[in-house]
Amino acid sequence: MEKVQDKFLRYVGVWTTSDPDSTTAPSTARQFDLLNLLAKELKEMGIKVKVTAKGVLMATIPSNLPKPSKAKTLDKKASAGKTSAAPVIGFIAHVDTAPDAEGKDIKPQIIPNYNGKDIILNKAKKVKLSTAVFPELKTFKGQTLITTDGTTLLGADDKAGVAEIMCAAEYMVEHPEFKHGTIKISFTPDEEIGRGVENFSVKDFGADFAYTMDGGAVGELEFENFNAASAKIEIQGCNIHPGYAKGKMINAIIVANEILSMLPPKERPEHTSKYQGFYHVVGISGSVENASVSIIIRDHDTKIFNARKKLFDTIQSRMDKKYGKGVVKITVKDQYYNMRKVVEPKYYIVERAISAMKKAGIKPKIQPIRGGTDGAMLSFRGLPCPNIFAGGLNFHGKLEYVSVESMEKATQVILNIAQAQ
């Protein structure tokens, strides 16, 4: 079998950055470069695969279990939601990388037998991974790390997950003694811009439940995530010569600043953790005449989430009263919801992952996702889909890295989940 490290290095060499401003699906044609490569490799393994025109890859590894007789078919209640001797299990990862940082011409650096000290990523640009800033680095002492060269992101989010699924698929095909039910695989585009499963057919996928391999450190297991919304603020100013502006000018930049000052200053990402939600200003542009602000709204608790959205109704009313209607226009849109509501009633899915981790010698760390995954949206569409670690850390930037041993552990967890019980 090819090692997960080799697969990962091959996949990060393919430029797959998504584009939030694109209206196509997928948002960038370059994502097909990796999707088609993966389809080719799966076909060479003898696995049936299809890539849709919208950039969704789906593949099936048939069950190698003997077909149960009618007399031996498991009772639905006794099998905790299964309708046959083995459920159909899916594994999902996304091929795109985040547009937050450069994702082209990635030059990964391999650090075998890491010594537990600071890592110089780029001496010329003075970029380093510091153990003072990232103390968790020390836990990887003796392992093989893959880092960036300090100029791009790495792409472990989520090409680590892609490589792990591909390694597990290869193992199942090459080891017929490894018994499993029907396994479904999907690689999706545009997860990083929130459009990863817009064209994903749960019916065509055909799994009873699935797991996204899109988490961080070893042991992470997540089945609850933020409720998410976006707020788009458009400001129409009035530009008058500054020498004659008194009582007439409306400076859109100043209005934007005034609106931002109305958001609770301690409820920003840099001041929150665990279950605490936030408002995050992700974009601002403008001039005296026009300005726009983009904000994302996040909270695990539905009531608090709704209250956060209502704050923008209050801001709108205040701006209308002060400047008149039409100067400020605020549009709030829901993006995704906390999947705990639909996964928790089928907790045996989480328990299966817990058991798989323990079997691999891993202590599960169940925690909320301070973000969202494709699995959140899929869960609400009838495919319960918790999230499992893929091993990468410091996603979306030039300080991203992954441990080869972590990817190997994730591959083993996939196999443990897939193995017939």
Sequence letter at residue 15: W
As annotated, the active-site residues are 96, 191
DSSP secondary structure code for residue 55 in this structure: S
Structure tokens at 70: 């009618």
User: Strand, coil or helix: what is 35?
Assistant: helix
Sequence letter at residue 203: K
SS3 for 371-420, per residue?
CCCHHHHHHHCCCCCCEEECCEECCCCCCCEEEHHHHHHHHHHHHHHHEC
| Rounded Cα gap, residues 210 and 213, in angstroms | 10
* In 237-327, beta strands by DSSP E: 278-286, 290-299
Q: Are 211 and 389 in contact (CB under 8 A)?
A: no
Residue/partner pairs of 354-357 with CB below 8 Å, 24 or more apart: 354/221, 355/416, 356/413, 356/414, 356/416, 356/417, 357/219, 357/221, 357/413, 357/416
Count other C-beta atoms under 10 Å from residue 110's C-beta.
11
| Rounded Cα gap, residues 415 and 421, in angstroms | 12
| Rounded Cα gap, residues 65 and 68, in angstroms | 9
Closest CA to 117 of 101, 134, 105, 96: 134
Residue length, the chain? 421
The angle, 0 to 180 degrees and rounded to 10, between the axes of the packed helices 4-12 and 156-174 is 140
Q: Are 404 and 144 in contact (CB under 8 A)?
A: yes
Q: Are 363 and 357 in contact (CB under 8 A)?
A: yes
| Rounded Cα gap, residues 316 and 384, in angstroms | 37
User: Strand, coil or helix: what is 42?
Assistant: helix
